[in-house]
Amino acid sequence: MVVSALIFGAIAVAVRSGDGDDGEEISGPAEQLPAVVSAAQELVGSVPPEPTIADELGRAYGETMLGFDEFAESGDDLAFAEQFDRLPDAQARVLGRSLGEMQSQLSPTEVDGARGADDRAGDVMFGLQLSRAVIQTMEPDATARQQALAILPFSVQDLTGFDEIADMLAGGDLQALAARIDESLSDAGAAELVSSVANAISQRLPAVDDVDYAAEFFSGYDAS
């Protein structure tokens, strides 16, 4: 889709600028960022402990996408709402807004965002945990390479030895993976990882009964 290409097609666009809460610096671990906490409340139903919040949140995104797969076949919006507490259009907007807000709050200070270099390592680990949980929930039967191609940024896909990178992601060797890919992420850091998650989700959202749920996703994403 053209909109997707415009938003996610380049690293410069992958970094969303923003100044957090009325220009105040947002500090602390990625797991404590307001956007992460809010997303967990909306999609998980509670705020999990910090060591598991990225994984549980990622699974919630993945499970929602499986719900959209079922909805595309059944067209039963009430059954969808019973499972996710929202009608499909509202849920798509929540997905977009929550990922857009996370991306903004994980952006580096150099582009008028809320984070700095001291947060980079923890942010990247959070982004990898989130990415892994999303794709392993959404595509559990895909190969390691297929999963990595679907969820990791294009800059990482261009690295030499990508199959080894894919195996690290699939196996959960995220500390080594973070060190391996860090330089490829440029100043964007974890914001680029979250952008890639948003891209994967937007590409998969269906159109049902003349409602384009990818467009609903982008209405939330662009408003964040």
pLDDT digits (tens, 9 = 90+) for 96-155: 999 999 999 998 887 677 788 889 999 999 999 999 999 999 999 999 999 999 999 999
Report the 3 state secondary structure along 130-173: HHHHHHHHHCCCCCHHHHHHHHCCHHHHCCCCHHHHHHHHHHCC
Counted residue by residue, the chain has a size of 224
Other C-beta atoms closer than 10 Å to the C-beta of 67 total: 16
Q: Is residue 85 pLDDT above 50, yes or no?
A: yes
How confident is the model at residue 11, as a pLDDT? 35
Burial of 47 (0-12, 13-18, 19+ CB in 10 A): middle
Tell me the pLDDT band of 24, cut-offs 50, 70 and 90: low
Q: Assess contact for 114 and 19: CB atoms under 8 A.
A: yes
Q: Is residue 12 pLDDT above 60, yes or no?
A: no
147 torsion bin: left (phi>0), alpha (psi -120 to 50), beta (else): alpha
How confident is the model at residue 27, as a pLDDT? 73
Tell me the pLDDT band of 20, cut-offs 50, 70 and 90: very low
Tell me the pLDDT band of 219, cut-offs 50, 70 and 90: very high
Quick: pLDDT tens for 160-217: 999 999 999 999 999 999 999 999 998 889 999 999 999 999 999 999 999 999 999 9
